[in-house]
Chain A
Amino acid sequence: MDVASFSAQLDELRARAVSAIDGADSPEALDAIESGMLGRKGELRGVLGGIGALSAEDRPKVGALANPVRGSIEAALADRRVSLEAEALDARLRTGAQDVTLPGRRRARGSLHPLVETEREIARIFGRFGFVVVDSPEVESDELNFGALNIPADHPACDLWDTIYVEEPAGTERDDRLLLRTHTSPGQIRAMRDRRPPIRVLTPGRCYRYEAVDASHSFEFFQIEGLMVDEGTTMAHLRGLLDAFAHAMFGADRATRFRPGYYPFTEPSVAFDIGCVVCEGEGCPACKRTGWMTILGAGMVHPVVLRNGGIDPEHYQGFAFGMGTDRIAMLRYAITDIRAFLANDMRFLERL
């Protein structure tokens, strides 16, 4: 044996190993090739086992020839392993392909009620101007619902509020008659009695009136009342604030106007109109062809109402405003029938 024949054996071995590696189709096959070729009992060792027959001078030469062979077989193994892994991943991903056009797994949509959302939006807008929500009860005394608000019994103004009264339990006697509040205005009196000026409060809530139900009336409806009292609170402030509200709720370029109104608890009293949200002022059935829609009533708090709230009308003045939450919500969401609010049709709710 000479160096040349060792060299030929090694070359042959390398060629065979590389070819086997190229043909291997699994990591296990590569493992077998690795141990068959390079292992302790592998072919490379076998070839080198015959090295003893060489001269001491030639042995290192063969050793030098063998190292690159081992190296290139190892490299071929590593390359093939990487490419096999990539192929396996590709194959796995290929079989894992999905119909990407499938819809998502549906979750229930959920919704917030338009009346409550509108009430909260109104409160948020006025909240920016320092108004805070205070609670006020639904069962109210006739004194707070009417008398303290300057609405005497047997006064024609009472026609504005058809009232549902509360049956008093047998055996009880009280000075005031109880009723279901016909408006949130008694909240004004409560707010004034509970605090000192400067006052800026909102009293939202459910109200009741003896009314037949149709597309724009209900015996249960929702209002939100605002009250501001201080030394220098003026009607100009009322106008400025309501303009800001109308712009926030119905758009920055919404036209607004004040016109005279009548409420026993304010003097002067006004109605606040906005440009029709349906026809934008052109004139349509919704605004009775006037181009205007009334969204709330307001005015400067009547001196007697201030005094009934424990506030000196010679030192303080204030304004109050009240609006139908239902009406604002109807305009805001283009809802045409007030009955939809309490019907709670899920299809209606999920449109909001």
Chain B
Amino acid sequence: MRVPLSWLREFVDIELTPEQLAERLTLLGMEVSAIEHIGADWQRIVVGELLEVLPHPNSRKLSLTRVRTGASEPELSIVCGATNIEVGQRIPVALPGSVLPGDRHIDITTIAGTQSQGMLCSGDELGLTSDADGILILPADAQLGVDMADMAGDVVLDIDVKPNRGDALSILGLAREVAAATGATLRWPDLSVVEAGDATSDHLRVDVEDPDLCPVFVGRYVDAITLGPSPWDVQRRLIAAGVRPISNVVDASNYVLLELGKPIHTFDADAVREGHIIVRRARDGERLETLDHVGRELTTDTLLISDAAGPLAIAGVMGGAASEVGDATTSVIIESAIFDPVSVRRTAFRYALRSEASLRFEKGQEHRMARLGADRTAALIGAWAGGRVAVGVVDTAPDAPQAVRIAFRPARTSQLLGQTLGIDEQRALLERVQIRTERARAGEMITVIAGDDPLRVAVNELVDALVAIVPGHRRDLSIESDLIEEIARVRGYETLPGRLPDTAMPPYLADPQRPLDELRAQLAGAGLNEIVSHGLIGPEDHARLGLGPDDEQTVRTTNPVTVDHSELRRSMIPEHLRVLLENERQRTPDVRAFEIGALHAWHDGEPAERLVLGLMLAGRENPLTYDRVATPADMATAKGLLEQLAARQLRCRLEYEPVSARDGVEHPGRIAAVVAVAPEGERTSLGRVGELHPILLRHYQVRAEHVVFAEIDLDAYRRLIPGRVRVGRLEHLPGVERDIAVVVAADQPVGELEALIHAHGGSHLRAVTLFDEYRGSPLGDDEKSVAFRLRYETLDHDLDDGMVELMVERVVAVLSERLGARLRA
């Protein structure tokens, strides 16, 4: 909320600088997000009078004006592009040598061949209003030559009022906070009304059919109105507060909205049939043209202000065009009502009409404000528009509700804050925000939790309790801890000493992320860059993966910010290709990246989340260097990385099984399932590794021809991490290595050979390394030779050569028997 200090000062004396005041308010919970000094960046901007407005000789869009800024000042000839100017008006004139906001310097210039000795200013140019089209028209009695800073300057605090403090969404409410912060006394505005003529009831009758949604409606009637601009002091305040002045009557209701926080609506009394207002829900098929000239179909839960003929306004949200106060208005009905917060909020959302008024209704209104708002508005219209305020009010609920009593235990304050505060101090602190306290009576209830399922504790002789009598405007206070917060806030949190937790420690639990730290460090150490990409991707991304709009497992959102980010990802591939594309555009085509993140899918009607490692390699395997050929990253690179992880963290080796490629996603000949094989032989599927399909790459406009990708299920991966690793006795005896080369069919998957060697190599076989694969002469075209190095180690005795020979022979025999392999000479 924008708070002009000049306005605030009407209700409370302020001896602090704006900066000091801002800090005090911030520390009290009314956060000042900006301090604006209106007029501080103006130089040589003064009030002038238009003596002449002529068409510009060389331009149809411009006018040539003659301006006077004082009896003894030379007349100025100024070119102006605005169309709202007339002879006799007073306007802000930027004299030659003047400065406008944004450090804009105005000097004598030539515009369209004519000299211009300065500039006439719009509200926008002065940084006052957002009105950039017309010149700011000042009141006719503005004194010539007066500095504009004196006419319109102010200091404005922009205060971020928290959603629970609707009472502070007003100048008066914030003045109350200033008083609490500084100890100054709050001064209320003059709320007296001069009444004359008829009784209000002669002109206004109000029936509330739905008192739940409209607990109170106060109406007043004012006639003999002369519509016109408000006094300048009113206009400049509204402008400083960010509200555009419109007319004295409309300004009066806006003024009360800002001053008291009470939304007011004024109807042209002639448009209200028989002066009879009915507050009711809309009926089926009813329509209303609202102030913004949009015809709206009304739903039956919309609360209306209506007359016998039909709807006049959407209660608390927006008035109707037909009853709008306009130039012809001579009498008005003032509505100062209170509406159900939830109903107003829902209605405002439904019609997308949230306004300053609906915002305040949503937060709840103090009951007495209905009457005070009506009186204040009537008095202001009387003063500014020469109106005659009819005698008395129509008030559907004149009796104020009882003050709210909240019992609390002062000992609880100390217990919660961790700082001992005496009862007297607590009472005095509450007094500063107008909360009186008294001793709680035995049997009175302390509300720990309010609402439909409250938790209450009875006051008895064992419980030392106070009762706070809460003023009507503090609708945010309802339970014991609300008062504790109030005490802490008013005392100031800077007085709360910090202390490290010294209570009992919870039992030890391992950090579930630690294994992932190790994995990340390992991959980064291998030269990969960790990335974090979007969790939400587009339907098109999923369609490219073969997961079209009909796919039932995709988790979709109802109201995405953009369709490109509307579905929770089921794969990291699309986002990673996008990352690759962006990096290729930045001329860094070598992208070696990994990400740890969640994938989502529906599973038995429940959303299921899977933690996944995504790995992408594009471009060169290693950076360019001077003495090696740069090799492209390929599937083997990715496999090597995965094997290193598996060896280090899982103590597993990996096997790869051919799988059918996802159409148009994976390279049909370069995709495998990744299977972890534990030393005991247990097999766990971990995910896939392979190359992406060129068509998919083309979809993402990626330039790389080969992109390697792996997606590893980290939930399965983490389960394989052994809780305890047994190293046991070290094998200090030398190992024995034997190389075998076998000739097999050219299309024989090597993985099968390796798996068989592991399975039949005997218990002392420690490692199998493929070290050669050869095709060509003297082998047949349909043959290849593969060579493995087998390493045998044992704990307890030397391996004798004969034993190793036997074991190797057995392996060769199995290979020959199962896969038709023959030993290569």
Contacts and interface: CB of A to CB of B under 8 A. Distances in A.
A84 interface: no
Interface string B493-513: 110111111111110011111
Nearest to B586: A345
Contact of A344 (B342, B524, B533, B565): B533
Contacts of B583: 344-346
Contacts of B33: 288
A137 to B, nearest CB: 5
B530 A199 contact: no
A105 B628 contact: yes
10 contacts: A165-B557, A166-B558, A178-B607, A206-B597, A259-B26, A271-B31, A300-B481, A344-B593, A346-B591, A349-B531
B162 A262 contact: yes
Nearest to B164: A262
Contacts of B524: 110-112
Interface in A196-246: 197-200, 206, 208, 210-213, 219-220, 228, 230-237, 239-244
B501 A233 contact: yes
B534 A220 contact: yes
Given A107-B527, A219-B561, A237-B418, A139 B568 contact: yes
Interface string A277-318: 000000000001110000000001011100100000110010
B527 A343 contact: no
Nearest to B349: A154
Interface stretch (B203-211, B447-455, B756-764): B447-455
A331 interface: no
Nearest to B160: A262
A180 B163 contact: no
A293 to B, nearest CB: 13
Contacts of A110: 523-529, 592
B511 A123 contact: yes
Q: Which 7 A-B pairs have the closest CB atoms?
A: A108-B527, A234-B418, A236-B418, A260-B29, A268-B485, A239-B498, A258-B493
Interface residues of A, number: 100
Interface in B565-603: 565, 568, 579, 582-583, 586, 588, 590-593, 596-598, 600, 602
A345 B593 CA distance: 11
B623 to A, nearest CB: 4
A342 B533 contact: yes
A314 B480 CA distance: 12
B449 A304 contact: yes
A126 to B, nearest CB: 11
A31 interface: no
Contacts of B416: 234-235, 268, 300, 317
A307 B454 CA distance: 11
Contacts of A236: 417-419, 496-499
A244 B498 CA distance: 10
B218 to A, nearest CB: 24
Contacts of B502: 237
Nearest to A239: B498
Given A116-B520, A259-B27, A211 B532 contact: no
Contacts of A43: none
A239 B345 CA distance: 36
Contacts of B489: 260, 268
Interface string A307-334: 1000001100100000000000000000
Given A105-B625, A112-B521, A133 B513 contact: yes
B598 A206 contact: yes
Interface stretch (A1-9, A16-24, A69-77, A156-164): A156-164
B99 interface: no
B561 A230 contact: no
What is the interface residue range for chain B against chain A? 35 or more
Nearest to B528: A110
A143 interface: no
B600 A234 contact: no
Interface in A87-112: 102-103, 105-112
A267 interface: yes
A269 interface: yes
Interface in B259-289: none
A68 B507 CA distance: 88
Contacts of A349: 529-531
A270 interface: yes
Contacts of A270: 493
B626 interface: yes
A249 to B, nearest CB: 16
Nearest to B486: A268
Contacts of B552: 169
Given A235-B418, A260-B29, A113 B499 contact: no
A165 B566 CA distance: 10
Contact of A156 (B163, B493, B520, B598): B163
B106 to A, nearest CB: 26
Contacts of B598: 138, 206
A108 B590 CA distance: 10
Nearest to B447: A303
Interface in A26-49: none
Given A112-B521, A116-B530, A127-B511, A107 B418 contact: no
Contacts of B534: 220, 342
B511 A169 contact: no
Contact of B596 (A116, A157, A174, A304): A116
Interface in A121-178: 123, 127, 129-130, 132-135, 137-139, 154-157, 159-160, 164-167, 169, 172, 174, 178
Contacts of A235: 416-419, 488, 496
B560 A231 contact: no
A250 interface: no
B676 interface: no
A313 B484 CA distance: 15
Contacts of A58: none
B497 A239 contact: yes
B29 to A, nearest CB: 3
